[in-house]
Structure 1
Amino acid sequence: MTHPDWCPPPSDTVSLLPAGRDWDAVRADAATARWAFPILNGPHESAAIVDPYTCATYWLLPPGEAHDFIHWQRLHPHVTVLPARPGTHYVGIPPTHRRTGPGLHWYVPHNWSGRYLTEPAYLAAALTPAVHAAHGPHRSR
């Protein structure tokens, strides 16, 4: 298991790494992420990867912990979990120094904790109201 102090590999370019080995990933659309960022500013602040080209934001979680929260499915299609499984998902990891676009970059909160891995319960608790704020209440079919 990877230590919670995981850091991106040293590089000057984007590294393409598989989800489920060193971390699982949670992907959210840009509207949800905009609402989530202020909610996530707190004691568990962690960085997120912003992809302005696909309008997606990725949070990295400790490996194997993404599936502990069953309610991720209720946030679909605005939030998607990318754990290890057949048909591995790859995520572009920007260099640690890239904090602005264009292109993939790290969103780093004002009082950043220095962590690149996010606590799953904290992220889930923030994304639930963020999806509601960005997209309205969930409608049952």
Structure 2
Amino acid sequence: MKKITTTDPMKSKHLNKSLDQFAEEGLIKLFKTIVGDHKIVGVVGILQFDVLQHRIQSEYNIPVKFENTQYKTARWLKGEQKQIEKFTKANINQMAKDNDNDYVYLIRIDWDLEKSIRENPNINFIKVKETNNDDN
């Protein structure tokens, strides 16, 4: 997981649109942090960052840079809304929203996740988000 920014501030809106497009294609998982509104990109395999950077630069003409983050993985939250809101407030610095505006818990180390699961038995921490396929 890496933070992505453009080196040309005039192209920030275009970067957001391109990231939304790549997230819809399934190339990336895009997370927008609650605190700071940073764009965090999740991919399967480190080489996907190179692919993403190349596509953004060649298809959208947007210069981008990646920065390492403290996060190693993410979990979607499933449970009662009150419980999720309480958890989100308590962990606001590790919370983001995905492209569907669902809450995502950004995890730094395994211990964070284990502790959160232990202390929040009414919340399921989902590794892979289910998607609704309306084509069926």
Same fold (TM over 0.5): no
- From the CA coordinates, give the structure whose radius of gyration is larger: 2
Select the structure that is richer in helix: 2
Q: Which category of TM-score, normalised to the shorter sequence, fits these structures?
A: 0.3 to 0.5
TM-score of the pair, normalised by structure 1: 0.36
Select the structure that is richer in strand: 2
| More contact order relative to length (CA 8 Å, sep ≥ 6) | 1
